[in-house]
Amino acid sequence: MVKKQQTWELRLYVAGKTTKSVTALENLKKYCETHLAGQYTIEVIDLLVHPQLAEGDQIFAIPTLVRKVPEPIRKIIGDLSNEEKVLVGLNIRPVKQLI
């Protein structure tokens, strides 16, 4: 199946090591390991270090998770504490069902 070869390029925008950012990253790793093992990359961008990168992905809230691939781009803002919402937001559910 084509979907199996699907990789997920995820970007997490944070601003320093705040509780929200740390929680978001932990949650994201957890979900990815559970549902997308071996199929994902996570890039963490700290806007305090690279403020110029905020404009490109239209970031205004922190933390923001951006699904770059597969298209279309999806964004999830918040500490990602609600697994259900994150999976729906990233459109992971249907894929998992296929597998």
Q: Which residues contact residue 14 at a Cβ distance below 8 angstroms, ignoring those fewer than 6 apart?
A: 21, 24, 25, 44, 45, 46, 47, 62, 63
Minimum Å gap between C-beta 27 and another protein is 8
What is the C-alpha to C-alpha distance for residues 71 and 81, in angstroms, rounded to an integer? Answer: 23
Q: How far is the CB of 55 from another protein (least distance, A)?
A: 6
Q: Which stretch binds another protein (CB under 8 A): 2-10, 29-37, 54-62?
A: 54-62
Radius of gyration of the chain (CA): 13
Whose tokens are 């729906």? That residue is: 88
Residue 59 as a binder of another protein (CB under 8 A): the answer is: yes
Of 7, 26, 41, 51, which lies in the binding site for another protein, with binding defined by CB under 8 A? 51
Out of 61, 69, 98, 99, name the contact with another protein by CB under 8 A: 61
Query: What number of chain residues touch another protein (CB under 8 A)?
Result: 33
- In order of 52, 58, 60, the CA distances from 31 in angstroms are 29, 24, 24
Task: Give residues in contact with another protein (CB under 8 A).
Answer: 13, 15, 20, 23-24, 47-48, 51-52, 54-55, 58-64, 72-82, 85-86, 88-89
